Structure 1
């Protein structure tokens, strides 16, 4: 997996870094942008300018543009939320509770942990290659079912597909909407069980993962339906407290393509995947 790096000069016209970011994500679905030491107050506007309209996070009875991720967050909730604990979170797609998850996810590092807390990335193209090799056609098709699995956390519940044909110009694309980490519960349709379990096993396999240790002022930006992401557990100290901020963005599909392009797969995997999706390849 290629991770591009991009320095963003805050003195430049805002349209220029936006074009740089979208162009970079078209070449590689993962980017680290060096935003510098922007304040907590300016980060939401800065990212919105560069990535498009924000997709709001639901937190309890309210919603917010940006979620603070740190172990000492003081949120009064009976629901165990990943942003309030330093524990490991397995790789997943963000926003699977929503009918239309965000196109782009941004994780801005205000300050890293004393130890641990690395971001974990898994390339969806590699997962789809493996799924097409190991699953029978009917097992692969089951992942495209609208009721492939139900995901739940607190009062957020949605039954959805794992794989979705993304509507865009150019080569066919398949979006990966997989979430089965330590803070959710899932109920998987029997027909989709083998494929779902395969994705869970592969995404937790270190040989499929790439670790990334962000520094203060760096922002990890990635295509949500192409890249699964998680994190390692971490430890804070009196002088180093891990604090990340997460934003979701509905980047325009004409500028940032969702999902895995069929052109990124081998001919055999492409043919089998598109047949499972009901396409003609």
Structure 2
């Protein structure tokens, strides 16, 4: 509940811990106002600035990039992609806009057990992503899947629309990576891996952008959204403070599969 998160430490802790464990959290009870979206994110972490600002309003008529959305993670072209993303529905006069989520944690576990060679290719071969506008040229080179030193998922970096052609390597390796990319896309688009969530005016959803891929149904002129992001290090900092942990102690890694 929005007011519980804003007004109480217990509500804030519940949200932050749920987001850490499950990866996605829906918040109800807010007014349809981007100021309330910003206020909620401020409770969690500092708002992250981007080339579009800190709070971005999305309307299909003026944001052509959002006319239809595909499953991806945000900021694949950033050296340090956003850690937490928030989307709020500000208005809709027709049917609710439906979001789609895929749990990267469950997906990587599936690949580990069914196709370890594919995981190795995705983990050890960097892919380039680019965001290019008249005054912006962001490029990042990193593997799609990054595991930590304990062999746990650290981050997924994936956006087919922003992906540059696979770099010229030896032909066998290039073909292997292209096959792995095709297989990864098939797993992502498998509806059995997907969870759907609808937003009504005022409602918000937050998710771990390093773990969860997101997309959605095509938007029309009646849909109006607001979105903002935060850095993962700031989110983890807030989690440690809430749990009264010192900076030397790691963030708990016990995580559950998404059940939206």
Aligned residues: 235
2:33 maps to 39
Long gaps (5+) in structure 2? 168-173, 241-252
Normalised to the residue count of structure 1, the TM-score between the two structures is 0.72
**Alignment of 1:156 onto 2:141:** no
Contact 2:38 2:47 (C-alpha < 8 Å) held by counterparts: no
1:114-263 pair list within 5 angstroms = 114-115=94-95, 117-137=97-117, 139-145=118-124, 148-154=126-132, 155-166=137-148, 172-181=152-161, 184-189=162-167, 190=174, 191-236=176-221, 241-250=222-231, 251-253=234-236
State the shift of 1:256 in Å.
5.5
* Residue-by-residue CA offset, 1:188-220 (whole Å, 9 max, x unaligned): 352532222222112122222122111111111
Instruction: For residue 142 of structure 1, report the CA deviation from its aligned partner.
Output: 2.7
Q: 1:136 to 1:27 in 2, by over 3 A?
A: closer
CA spacing shift, 1:234–1:48, aligned 2, 3 Å: closer
Q: CA deviation at 1:153?
A: 2.9
Rate the CA distance shift 1:159–1:11 in 2: closer, same or farther, 3 A. closer
Structure 1 residue matching 2:41: 3-state secondary structure: helix
Q: Work out the CA distance in 1 between the residues paired with 2:220 and 2:109.
A: 35
Equivalent-residue separation in structure 1 for 2:199 and 2:206 (angstroms): 11
Structure-2-length-normalised TM-score:
0.77
CA RMSD, Structure 1 to Structure 2 (Å): 3.2
Q: Cα gap change, 1:94/1:256 in structure 2, threshold over 3 Å: closer, same or farther?
A: farther
Q: Which has the higher helix share?
A: 2
Q: Which runs of 5+ in 1 are unaligned?
A: 1-6, 76-80, 266-281
Higher relative contact order (CA 8 A, sep 6+): 2
Of 98-107 and 187-196, deviating more is 187-196
Tell me by how many angstroms 1:134 deviates: 4.0
CA deviation vs aligned residue, 1:70-102 (integer Å, no higher than 9, x gap): 1122x7xxxxx523xx22x11111111111112
Per-residue CA deviations over 1:166-202 (Å, capped at 9, x if unaligned) read: 47xx984432111114xx3432352532222222112
